[in-house]
């Protein structure tokens, strides 16, 4: 029994170490960290390699904190700064922290200076909205992306750092049930909008 427990413990520890290491290294040899993958309105999406890879902090010429290079937060903040001329009052925080669960649908999120809508809102998402995903067992920080287009039954998002094999663009089903707009994606909390 002790031998079996020891083997199990060694396997668990080895798996945990492999998991932690692969989140920081590039497993997709088709791309280099920092490589241009895509763009929306002349704002570039860069490849990040491992989900937790860190390539230094990006700041604007006026010292506004845009974020850690090639992370999802850095892209959405850079997009809002460059394309929408918007600086968020709270320039820090993980992706999931962009959504304030204490706000009612359509209220001002003062940390981001954006109107917040919950997933299941009377207000339909639109292009340039920022969408927020909660954390998970494999990504405790959550995820953020920009809505690049909206149709009657789906949206397209553009994102940075979806993982080493994720795509910069993805589609999410959009439903209107009893007057409420819902994006059919696990962990999706809602969207933020500059009014």
**94/7 Cα distance (integer angstroms):** 36
At residue 24, the pLDDT reads 54
User: Does residue 11 have a pLDDT over 70?
Assistant: no
**121-147 mean pLDDT:** 96
Across the range 109-135, mean pLDDT stands at: 98
Residue pair 154/99 in contact by the 8 Å Cβ criterion:
no
- pLDDT reported for residue 139: 87
**Residue 26's pLDDT is what?**
59
Given CA atoms 160, 63, 91, 122 in this order, what sign does their dihedral have? negative
pLDDT digits (tens, 9 = 90+) for 37-83: 999 999 999 999 877 778 899 999 999 999 999 999 999 999 999 99
Q: Which CATH architecture has domain 31-193?
A: Alpha-Beta Complex (3.90)
> What are the angstrom distances between the C-alpha of 54 and each of 6, 58, 97, 161?
34, 11, 19, 11
- Give mean pLDDT, residues 145-168: 94
Q: What is the mean pLDDT of the chain?
A: 89
pLDDT at 169 over 80: yes
pLDDT of 19 over the 50 cut = no
Spatial distance between the Cα atoms of 18 and 141, rounded to a whole number of angstroms: 19
Residue 7 has pLDDT above 70, yes or no: no
Question: Which carries the bigger pLDDT value, residue 19 or residue 156?
Answer: 156
C-alpha to C-alpha distance for 142 and 80, rounded to whole angstroms: 19
Quote the percentage of the chain above a pLDDT of 90: 73
Full-model pTM: 0.87
Domain map of the chain by residue range?
31-193
Query: Residue 125, class by beta-carbon neighbours within 10 Å (0-12 exposed, 13-18 middle, 19+ buried)?
Result: buried
Cβ neighbours of 58 (radius 10 Å): 18
Give the pLDDT mean for 9-21: 50
Contact 166, 147 (CB under 8 A): no
SS3 category, 120: coil
């Amino acid at each position: 029994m002790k031998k079996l427990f020891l083997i199990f413990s060694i396997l668990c520890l080895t798996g945990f170490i492999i998991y932690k290491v692969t989140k920081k290294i590039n497993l997709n040899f088709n791309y280099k960290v920092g490589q241009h993958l895509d763009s929306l309105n002349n704002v570039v999406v860069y490849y990040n390699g491992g989900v937790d890879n860190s390539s230094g902090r990006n700041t604007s010429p006026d010292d506004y904190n845009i974020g850690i290079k090639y992370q999802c937060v850095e892209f959405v903040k850079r997009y809002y700064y460059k394309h929408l001329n918007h600086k968020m009052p709270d320039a820090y925080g993980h992706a999931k922290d962009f959504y304030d669960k204490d706000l009612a649908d359509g209220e001002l999120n003062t940390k981001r200076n954006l109107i917040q809508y919950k997933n299941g809102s009377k207000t339909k998402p639109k292009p340039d909205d920022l969408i927020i995903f909660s954390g998970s067992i494999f990504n405790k920080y959550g995820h953020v992306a920009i809505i690049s287009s909206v149709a009657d039954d789906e949206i397209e998002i553009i994102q940075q750092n979806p993982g080493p094999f994720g795509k910069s663009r993805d589609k999410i089903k959009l439903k209107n049930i009893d007057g409420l707009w819902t994006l059919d994606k696990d962990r999706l909390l809602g969207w933020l909008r500059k009014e």
